[in-house]
Copies of this chain bind each other. A is one copy, B any other.
Amino acid sequence: MGRFHGSSTTVLKPKTTQQVSRILQWCNYRKIPVVPQGGNTGLVGGSVPVKDEIVISLSNMNKVREFDPVSGVLVADAGCILQALTDYVAPHNHIMPVDLGAKGSCQIGGNVSTNAGGLRLLRYGSLHGNVLGLEVVLPDGTILDQLTTLRKDNTGYDIKQLFIGAEGTLGIVTGVSILTPPAPQASNNVILALPSFQNVLPLYQTVKAQLSEILSAFEFIDRTAYNLAVKHGQGRALSDEDVQGAECFVLVETSGGRREHDEQKLTTLLESLLEADKPLINTGVMSQNPAQFSSLWALREGVTEAISKEGKAYKYDISVPLSSFKDVVDGTREHLRSKGLLNDEAVKHVIGYGHVGDGNLHLNVVAKDYSPEIQAALEPYIYEVVSSYRGSISAEHGIGYQKTHALHYSKDKVSIDLMRKIKNVIDPNGIMNPGKVLE
């Protein structure tokens, strides 16, 4: 986003866990704050120094430590780039359980520290389930070695969970043990045009019931998002006839073990959807080859790039009940209109897209320029809306530096007090990534 700029003058690039340990021991003794940094691809300023912290980059710790092709357990340095790990396990017919747009630069340690979600969460679950073990250097330099490769271990508190999503405020993740699922043998996708948002939920139920274990993505794109993607050349546009009267779109992906079975299931689904008395969809386009498969995905994944070409984006990554997706987007648009801010010189578009299967809505407000008026109109308005639904103000991007002031919209005082107690007991000198997560 380019909205966060650090002012640190020192970047250290340790090559071993021992070096990380010695650095933290030294910093903790002198109470010098540090910022752990992975691929620096976060969207909330979590890996950016706020003042003159020492940046500790993990990029030189980038070796795979071991991989067991029978169990699928991979143990790697925290600085390994997600794409590199994906490539590493591919010849063994395994995939990483996490996949996201930034995979070419983001690091597995950063993925863990931010509890990255992404495109495979619906199918493979969260990192809280997939991470089997961690090696973490605690703020005083002590090495916490929980780098187990066991799938099951019920011996005491599952301490490692605290570091998953702590955004580097409790210690530095230096090694990760993670369960990689077998690679699917076949992937298919289809884009469905819906006459009304009201149909999204019944469609989700139908698709879940029929595709069951091979359903790997159910992504929502509203009409505005679709139009922008097409305008900026992302993916393969449907025909004019196909999109006529479509209020929104859903991308369904399947991943399974046998191509002909998956295709049968997907074809049966499409037929039953189109032949229904009151069809939930106007039309559906199924990919016929790998190029079309990528091109349909680009309609969804390209929304981000289209938005960046269209203007300056205020990005909200929220969890709200599925049924409220449209109300949240429309409500935000009307709110901006009522403030006189919906026009070509201020806010050009209000867009909703995201992971229906996970209840995760990406609400993007695209403006000509960033401005204090727009900012003031959006916050705390959006946080209050999310809070009214008991939703999350940050479904997958985290809190970082940007959202510490808003944490209370999603977590009550008891929760925040407990977080603070845990922060104080693990990092009593407060050297770990100060100003992030907790104010």
Contact = CB atoms under 8 A, between A and B. Distances in A.
Contacts of A265: 257-258, 261
A286 to B, nearest CB: 18
Nearest to A422: B157
A416 interface: yes
A25 interface: no
A275 interface: no
Contacts of A146: 411, 415
A43 B172 CA distance: 36
Nearest to A437: B156
Given A142-B414, A359-B150, A414-B144, A257 B156 contact: no
B212 A184 contact: yes
A175 to B, nearest CB: 14
Given A128-B128, A155-B393, A157-B166, A412 B70 contact: no
User: Which of A201, A212, A407 has the most chain B CB within a 10 Å cutoff?
Assistant: A212
Contact of A205 (B70, B115, B126, B204): B70
B410 A153 contact: yes
A261 B254 CA distance: 15
Interface in A188-227: 201, 204-205, 208-214
Nearest to A92: B205
B397 A154 contact: yes
Nearest to A68: B321
Contact of A153 (B170, B319, B403): B319
A159 interface: yes
Contacts of A398: 154-155
A192 to B, nearest CB: 17
Contacts of A159: 415, 418-419, 422
Contacts of A397: 154
Contacts of A158: 115, 128, 161-162, 164-165
A76 to B, nearest CB: 17
A392 interface: yes
Given A128-B129, A128-B161, A162-B162, A114 B145 contact: no
A129 B125 contact: yes
A411 B150 CA distance: 13
A129 to B, nearest CB: 2
Contact of A154 (B117, B138, B150, B214): B117
Contacts of A367: none
A121 interface: yes
A235 interface: no
Contact of A162 (B125, B157, B214, B438): B157
A394 interface: yes
A51 interface: no
Nearest to A162: B157
Given A158-B165, A264-B261, A358 B392 contact: no
**Central interface residue in A154, A264, A265, by most chain B CB within 10 Å:** A154
Nearest to A123: B213
Interface in A251-266: 255-258, 261, 264-265
Contacts of A121: 151-152
Interface in A402-439: 403, 407, 410-412, 414-416, 418-419, 421-423, 425-426, 437-438
Interface string A333-357: 0000000000000000000000101
A93 interface: yes
A390 interface: yes
A427 B155 CA distance: 19
A331 interface: no
Contacts of A93: 209
11 contacts: A125-B130, A128-B158, A138-B414, A144-B414, A149-B321, A150-B392, A152-B360, A155-B398, A156-B416, A157-B165, A210-B257
Given A418-B426, A422-B422, 14 more contacts: A70-B205, A121-B152, A149-B390, A152-B319, A152-B392, A153-B319, A153-B395, A153-B410, A155-B399, A155-B403, A156-B399, A159-B419, A261-B264, A261-B265
For the complex of A and B, list the 4 residue pairs with the smallest distance between their C-beta atoms, beginning with the closest: A129-B129, A212-B257, A161-B161, A153-B392
